[in-house]
Structure 1
Amino acid sequence: DPLDGTTNFLHGIPHFAISIAAMETDTQGRRSIIAGTVFDPVKNEFFFAERGKGAYLNGRRLRVSGRRMMADALFGTGIPFLGRGDEDDHAAFLKQLGNIMAISSGVRRNGAAALDLAWVAAGRLDGFWEKGLSLWDIAAGVLLIREAGGFVSDFASRDKALDSGDVVAGNPAIHGDLIKRLRV
């Protein structure tokens, strides 16, 4: 994604990033991410991961957070655009948001999914969820989180986030509980 968080950029909000991922497809058509990077030009933060070699921020090894309790966890999400999608999607999101807000230390909507996923890899956010994202929004972040020791799935706990664009990410202690609480 040449500019993830375009609306933030256009409004002068300093939360946007450049996200690039390299992928390969096997003979059965399954895609896998080889390398990914998310660059935050405002903070001069360069997140990088290579499959099997870890995730890094400006050369420092990353690990997802070690928080184990939802009550201590801070989450990121994206809010569906009104007028794009159906009303059931918006009602379901509001239920999900209420479920997570009721048992966590907070939820943030920052407006740049690639950067939010990088923040999960860095342990700044404990988890993230959003539906309907594009592959270019999530590919680098998915690898960053996995290489930092976290889990990424779709809302049914399957390894289908890259195909569906529906993402639930978190550290190993929180990911499963986050999935359960997002079921509405």
Structure 2
Amino acid sequence: MHPMLNIAIRAARVAGNLIAKCYEIPDNNYEVSKKDNNYFVKSITKKAESLIVEIIRKFYPHHTLLSEELRELYSGKNTDVQWIITPLSGTYNFIKRFPHFSVSIAVRIKNNTKIAVIYDPIRNELFTASSGKGTQLNGYRLRGSTARNLNGTILVTGFPVNQKHSIKNSYIILMKKLFIQCADLRRTGSTALDLAYVAAGRVDGFLEMGLKPWEFTGGELLVRESGNLITDFTGGNDYLVSGNIIAGNSSIIKVIFKTMSKDLMQCIE
């Protein structure tokens, strides 16, 4: 096992265990309100992030860290290696006690994602990937969906919760067309797990726009190492900049582009 993958796993498990403990043993004296909920989950997220940063810094003190929670870079002497951390993907699920959230850690070396870990602490599912070594779930190799068209497929998507007014009508129209053609269209609330599920073949495809790098970097490698593809809305590799992503096997991506290309282009105009 790659030493950085080993450290990423350790950090993800420690953070995930903290999150699971807070989820399973709620404070009975806790007054539920939107303000308190936000403060509560932010406090947990910061603690989880601190645990992750502490473990990485112990073994790799000179590496650079990009934190999802603080939206800032912990600059190190070695800028060629960047750890991208999402301590809690699925914040609203956690707040509402919907058991679907995860910890995501990725390592990029010279602008290429080489290591990825996504950990679901509630199901104790550990998704891992190392460049050229494939994707695994709890040590077992994963392959993606074998679907050849949208008939009978499950697709997953997401919407910008804090920017609902910015969702373009063309994107809503696209979602409607996909929903008509596939068996089901879902929004789970955790981008990291969405992409992990594409890698595992639990869902057949993923489509979302306007994502931030920390939301999908770990999942990106899981998808690619499971034999699937990931592209932007133009069929290229600019998703790290645009945040617009389509993921799935080559057939599913081709079908989406063939039938929805006009709507996809309108989404990014």
TM-score of the superposition, structure 2-length normalised?
0.63
| Helix, strand or coil at the partner of 1:100 | helix
Which portions of structure 1, spanning 4 or more consecutive aligned residues, are displaced by more than 4 angstroms?
A: 82-85
1:91 positional shift: 1.0
In 2, the alpha carbon distance for the partners of 1:151 and 1:83 equals: 28
Match of residue 196 from structure 2: 118
- Is the contact made by 1:100 and 1:181 (CA closer than 8 Å) also made in structure 2? no
SS at match of 1:64: coil
* Structure with a larger share of its residues in helix: 2
Q: Does 1:172 align with 2:172?
A: no
Determine if contact 1:80/1:90 at 8 Å carries over to the other structure.
no
Which residue of 103, 107, 110 maps to 1:18?
A: 103
CA contact (8 A) 2:149 2:255 kept: no
What do residues 55-94 of structure 1 show as CA deviations (whole Å, max 9, x unaligned)? 00000000001111211211000023374553xx331221
For 1:141, the equivalent position in structure 2 comes to 219
Residue 237 of structure 2 is matched in structure 1 by: 159
Partner of 1:75: 155
Tell me how many residue pairs correspond in the alignment: 177
2:138 aligned residue: 58
Q: Does 1:97 align with 2:182?
A: no
Mapped partners of 1:110, 1:144: distance in 2: 18
- Tell me: CA distance 1:82–1:50, structure 2 relative to 1, closer, same or farther (3 Å): closer
DSSP 3-state at the match of 2:251: coil
The higher-RCO structure (CA 8 Å, 6+ apart) is 1
- Matched to 1:111, the amino acid is G
Q: Do 1:39 and 1:46's aligned partners in 2 also have CA atoms closer than 8 Å?
A: yes
Change (3 A) 1:137 1:102: same
**Gaps (5+ residues) in structure 1?**
26-30
Offset from partner CA, 1:146-165 (integer Å, 9 cap, x none): 00000001011101112221
Which letter does structure 1 place at the counterpart of 2:180?
A: A
Q: Which has the larger radius of gyration?
A: 2
RMSD: 1.4
The Cα of 1:175 is off from its aligned counterpart by 1.1
Equivalent in the alignment of 2:184 = 106
Gaps of at least 5 residues in structure 2 are 1-85, 264-269
Superposition deviation, residue 24 in structure 1 = 1.6
Matched, 1:36 2:116: yes
Q: TM-score, normalised by structure 1?
A: 0.91
- Taking the aligned partners of 2:123 and 2:226, their CA distance within structure 1 comes to 20
Secondary structure of 2:236's counterpart equals coil
Percent identity of paired positions between Structure 1 and Structure 2 = 38
Moved more, 13-22 or 158-167: 158-167
1:3 aligns with 2:68: no
